[in-house]
Amino acid sequence: MASGSLSVKKYEIDMCNGPLLGKMLKFYFPLMASSMLQLLFNAADIIVVGRFAGPEALAAVGSTSSLINLLTNLFMGLSVGANVMVARYYGADQDDELSDMVHTAITTALISGVVLLAVGLFLTGPILTAMGTTADALPLAKIYIRIYFCGMPFMMLYNFGAAILRAIGDTRRPFIYLFISGLINFVLNLVFVIPFKMSVSGVALATVISQGIAAFLIIRCLMNTDAAYRLILTKLHVTGDKFLKMIGIGIPAGLQGVLFSFSNVIIQSSVNTFDTTAVAGNTAGMNLEGFVYMAMNAFSQTSLSFSGQNYGARKFDRIKKIMWLSLICVTVTGLIFGGTFILFAKPLLHLYTTDPAVISYGVLRLRYICAAYFLCGTMDTIVGVLRGMGYSVMPMIVSLTGACLFRIVWIFTIFRQVHKLEVLYISYPISWFITTAVHLICFAICFSRVSKGRSQS
């Protein structure tokens, strides 16, 4: 594999040789923990404002999540492209190409962060208004999201840096860095909100500071290694062919995320047609189910890195094994986590609020979403394998048609006729089932092409 010292090698995983399951789990668990910690940034915000700043502040923070995802997912998709290309060059032992890819990715991260900062400062207010954010939550939501977006350059640097490390098998150091920054985020939340009474401004500022620390740690890590993926700040640049390959995979992934988020914005707007209590309950339930999603999504990212390296090494038989092992693992994980969150829904929701009405709305969402959430995990895991093999447009089209478009049509037809939250929520598992079935067919077709050496499309 790529060159590096023994101290660096201990963080790397040889994905192209030997038994797969143990290595996949070694990769998965720190990645899952990192994903959980990243979600805790927002959870800490929601818990603190829900308990100490009131339902209006809770609704304000929660109503911004779908908009934040909408605006960031395109650029986050580029980090997926960086992950795939770094893994491919690493698996093929192409050190010069690997170095160019790393510097191109980090430069892209900086530019992306600045663009998002500008968008967040100037466009989020009108978008929140257009979404129908409740009148009592709108002023606080604007304050929260504008401060939050000041941390976008830090968020992009961390996520692109973490994508580079994951591509070479290192999920432990990103976890350590997030653990440190997560603790700082939680402490600052408490300090800013309780004694300083800063409400949503305090939790947003705490998030920005913690993201800055995470970004600093991961950039320092990349600069201090002596492996081929070392980052040298004076060499930051964009290499044309590497950038095109990165966006060839990343843009479809990002567009899929954007349009998924767009459908979630429409769903959030539909939830906003109910009262503030329903919005707050939906917020708490959505935040809890996020932990189930992150536990499953770590297998999607595992399948992405493992299939990317093995594609670079031209070991196609291992890709099929990676896919089926990932599907088994993600299904078991989804059933266990989803069932646990349904079983303990009320005490978990009590962490966010003591309002019985808010808790009842949160329980309603968890029961509908978490029972079939494993289908979402299988859907994303197949997409991860397909992208690792270089197919990004096909899974984007399938996912957008089977999930995103389906949900939008559902809202403007079925939900419009039966205006109940239950009717809104049931659209999720139906869309997951349809999309998973089509993705399985796509994998069979794409794997046949790759294994036979046919051209990709």
Residues 46-105: tens digit of each pLDDT: 778 877 887 778 777 777 877 787 788 888 889 999 999 999 999 999 999 999 999 999
Band of the pLDDT at 2, cuts 50, 70, 90?
very low
Band of the pLDDT at 42, cuts 50, 70, 90?
low
- Average pLDDT rounded to a whole number, residues 410-416: 92
Length of the chain: 457
Instruction: State residue 73's pLDDT score.
Output: 83
Using CB atoms within 10 Å of the CB of residue 263, give its burial: 0 to 12 exposed, 13 to 18 middle, 19+ buried.
buried
CA 440/CA 19 separation, integer angstroms: 24
At 162-208, the pLDDT tens digits run 999 999 999 999 999 989 998 998 899 999 988 988 888 998 999 99
10: which residues sit within 8 A by CB, 6+ positions away? none
E strand or H helix at 64, and its extent? none
Q: Which two tokens stand for residue 233?
A: 């700040």
Instruction: State residue 453's pLDDT score.
Output: 66
At 247-306, the pLDDT tens digits run 999 999 888 888 777 787 788 888 888 888 898 899 889 888 989 999 999 999 999 999
Name all contacts of 114-118 with Cβ < 8 Å and 24+ positions apart.
114/152, 114/153, 115/75, 116/71, 116/72, 116/75, 116/149, 116/152, 116/153, 116/156, 117/149, 117/150, 117/152, 117/153
Q: Is the pLDDT of residue 457 over 50?
A: no
**Would you give the distance in Å from CA 99 to the centre of its chain?**
25
At 311-323, the pLDDT tens digits run 999 999 999 999 9
CA 23/CA 376 separation, integer angstroms: 24
Instruction: State residue 455's pLDDT score.
Output: 41
CA 374/CA 378 separation, integer angstroms: 6
Q: Is the pLDDT of residue 357 over 50?
A: yes
- For the chain, what is the mean pLDDT? 89
- Do 284 and 45 contact (CB within 8 A), yes or no? no
- Average pLDDT rounded to a whole number, residues 147-157: 95
CA 3/CA 361 separation, integer angstroms: 54
Q: Is the pLDDT of residue 381 over 80?
A: yes
Compare 436 and 133 and report the one with higher pLDDT: 436
At 207-226, the pLDDT tens digits run 999 999 999 999 999 999 98
Q: DSSP letter string over 208-271?
A: HHHHHHHHHHHHHHHHH--STT---GGG----HHHHHHHHHHHHHHHHHHHHHHHHHHHHHHHH
- Do 189 and 206 contact (CB within 8 A), yes or no? yes
Instruction: State residue 48's pLDDT score.
Output: 83
E strand or H helix at 19, and its extent? none
Percent share of the chain, pLDDT over 90: 62
Q: How many helices (H) and strands (E) does the chain have?
A: 20, 0
Prediction pTM value: 0.83
Band of the pLDDT at 454, cuts 50, 70, 90?
very low
Closest CA to 1 of 104, 98, 84, 101: 98
